[in-house]
Amino acid sequence: MDTTAIGAFALRSRTVTERDIALFTEITGDRNPIHYDMDLAAASRFGGLVVQGGVTSGLLNALVAEQLPGPGSVFLEVAWQFLAPVRPGDVITAEATVTSVRSDKPVTTLATRVTNQAGTTVLDGTAVVWRDPVVAAASNGAQHHQPAGTSGTTEREQP
């Protein structure tokens, strides 16, 4: 499939765990009690532990880097709204659809969304992505490592 065609679409799912919270904290230093203190989080407007937004949006990083547009892709710009909390145990699905492609350079605009297992949109927005042509050419058709905890992925054209 041509991942630079308007309407190209990809999905990537993952079950979020408390370990994800701990790993994100290790990387970033984000020790917000809303992510760790069950009693305090339960008393908050969220009613329970909440996964860091970076864990949620991170699934879009993987989708962009591995699937759409694919290896060599980096974000130039993102505009994301976090609309609902993600909790440990949630199954989240990131999706992206190509909405525009620059003809003068390898830049693609994507509509992006992350939903939970109930179909609730937890993140919505757009991303502008640049794909390095050298890396793209070297990876064309190559299989990429899929870490444990991610499900199979799907690409399809949007009607």
Residue reference for tokens 């710009």: 77
At residue 155, the pLDDT reads 39
Residue 85 has pLDDT above 50, yes or no: yes
pLDDT at 146 over 90: no
Q: Is residue 2's pLDDT more than 70?
A: no
Q: If 0-12 CB within 10 Å is exposed, 13-18 middle and 19+ buried, where does residue 137 land?
A: exposed
Closest by CA position to 58, among listed 9, 12, 117: 12
Q: What band does 159 get if pLDDT is binned at 50, 70 and 90?
A: very low
Cα separation, 8 vs 63, in Å, equals 13
Q: Which residues pair with 150 in a beta bridge?
A: 14
| pLDDT score, position 140 | 76
The candidate with the shortest Cα–Cα distance to 109, out of 127, 131, 93, is: 127
In sequence order, what are the residues at sequence separation of 6 or more whose Cβ sits closer than 8 angstroms to the Cβ of residue 99? 6, 109, 110, 111, 126
Element housing 131 (H / E) = strand 121-131
Region 14-23: mean pLDDT is 96
For the chain, percent of residues with pLDDT exceeding 70? 86
Confidence of residue 3 (pLDDT cuts 50, 70, 90): low
Confidence at residue 20, expressed as pLDDT on a 0 to 100 scale: 95
Tens digit of pLDDT for each residue in 106-143?
A: 999 999 999 999 999 999 999 999 999 999 899 875 54
- Token pair listed for 34: 């809303």
pLDDT(153) > 70: no
pLDDT for res 150: 43
